[in-house]
Structure formats: C-alpha cells, structure tokens
Copies of this chain bind each other. A is one copy, B any other.
Amino acid sequence: MIVIKIGGGAEIDHEAILRDLKRQLDGGERAVVIHGANHEMKIISEQLGKPPRMITSVSGYESRYTDAETIEIFNMVYAGKVNTMLVALAHRLGINAVGLSGVDGGLLRGPRKKALKVVENGKRMIIRDDHSGRIEDVNVDLLRTLLDAGYTPLISPPALSDEGEPINVDGDRAAACIAAALGADRLIILSNVPGLLRDKDDESTLIDRVDRRRMDEFETFAEGRMKKKTMGAAEAIDQGVGEVIFADARIDDPIEHALRHEGTVIS
C-alpha cells in the first residue's frame, strides 16, 4: 500500500502523476491519494475579494487564517473544484477514483483549535475565529471498504471537527495520518521541489537520506511549508510507516522516480 500526497502548487503536472499512478495500480499496487489546492485557493479567494492571509504560530509554523468565510471558499476549492477535476482526470486515465473530503463518513476527525497563539508584526495575539484543527482519527474502514470494492480514494481536506464542522487541516499532515492509519509501506509527498534542500534556493543541495533519529538536525533546513512536511514525515514514521519520500511532482513518472529513491528518503 502506498499513500501519495499531491501538492497544490502551480507547477504540478496532475496528468503525469495520475498516469504514473495508473501504471502502479496495473502492477498490483494499492494506493490512496491526498491532494492540496493551494494555488487554486489563492486564485479563487482573490476573485471573491478575500485574498489569503497567512499567520505564524508562536512556535514558528505558518498556516492559513481560516475564518468562517474562508472555510466556505476552502470547501469549494478543495472538495469542489480541484477534487472533482482530479477525479474526472483519473477516470479519463482509467483509474476508478472516488473523491472524498475528510468530512465524508467522518474520514478525518479531530478537534478544532479554539485559540491560536500567533505572532503578527512581532506582537503576540490570540485568534479565536479560526476554523482549523488537527486530525486525531482516520476512518480506515471507509477507505478499506472502497479499496476492497476496487476504487481508488482521492482525498482532500477539510476534516470534520469533533463538533461536526468542516475544518482546515494541513494536507501533508493529513497524508501522514492516513498513511499511518493504513499501515502503508510508503508515503510519497510530491511537490514542486525535488525534496528537502540544504539551501532552499539551490536544488543541487538536495538531502537524499534522513534518519528519523537524526531528524532534528535536518529540521533546521525546512522553511515555510516544508516545516509541515518534515513534521508529517516524523509523525508517519513514528506511527509505523516504512518510509517517507519527498519527491519532485514536476517531472514525468514522478511516482516511479520517488520509488527509486530520487528525492529525500526519511526512514
């Protein structure tokens, strides 16, 4: 079983990824896919007069400020626009995909963060109207039911809060939770970088292997969105996933390349 996270960046070649996925499935592999939609979210939010606003937690993690209006746009873009587009594309390529958000069947559940401690312009503040949270439970039965019936689940945030409201959750950490819950052999995180870089502006500085026990040393190289990826990777390994591979989504056969350990392998 492999779990594949497809990044939501602008340069991602969805057709190349799903074509490669089809080959893996034809070879007898089982897969679950999770995707982002960051680039589309920016476009639609701006069209609706509600441009994205990022916030930084006191511990230094960046995330999207998700007020009541933003979570509705989030649902539209992630579960509506991008998920439907990807499921239709999968069908055109011969993959019998079923799109799910984390709300469906309570697939991804957890508490909403009621008070976010953030730093803005050097000042500490508490945000109380944020609709984001953290995943504590994965409905593995729903995934197995669909997999056993021959479908490939194609999953998108939001998740479902303990109070039954849609909440924004990080896609990389969602992928890690799903991989852990399924006991996957591999979690492949495809995005618009070749992996973890020593210098984020120089793709030749790729770190090719990271030992989980020495993860802390490498986390200093992770900036911005890469911070959540390394956090998710550590969580996945700690919960029994064989290996996590950060790999390039912008090339042909990106899954095949990732399986050949071209990227950053964490184990």
Residues of chain A at the chain B interface (Cβ within 8 Å): 44, 47-49, 72, 75-81, 83-85, 87-89, 91-92, 96-101, 103-106, 141-142, 145-146, 149, 151, 158, 160, 163-166
Contacts and interface: CB of A to CB of B under 8 A. Distances in A.
Q: Name which of A48, A87, A97, A106 has the most chain B CB atoms within 10 A of its CB.
A: A87
Given A80-B81, A89-B164, 5 more contacts: A47-B49, A76-B81, A84-B158, A84-B166, A91-B160
B96 A106 contact: yes
Contacts of A83: 79-80
Contacts of A106: 91, 96
Contacts of A105: 96-98, 151
Contact of A79 (B47, B72, B79): B79
Contacts of A146: 145
Contact of A149 (B49, B88, B142): B142
A25 to B, nearest CB: 15
B158 A149 contact: no
Nearest to A106: B91
Contacts of A75: 80-81, 84-85
Grouping DSSP codes into helix (H, G, I), strand (E, B) and loop, the A interface class, with mixed when no group exceeds half, is: helix
Contacts of A72: 81, 85
A88 B103 contact: yes
6 contacts: A72-B81, A72-B85, A87-B103, A88-B103, A88-B164, A142-B151
B101 A84 contact: yes
A168 B141 CA distance: 31
Given A88-B166, A103-B87, A149 B145 contact: yes
Contacts of A97: 104-105
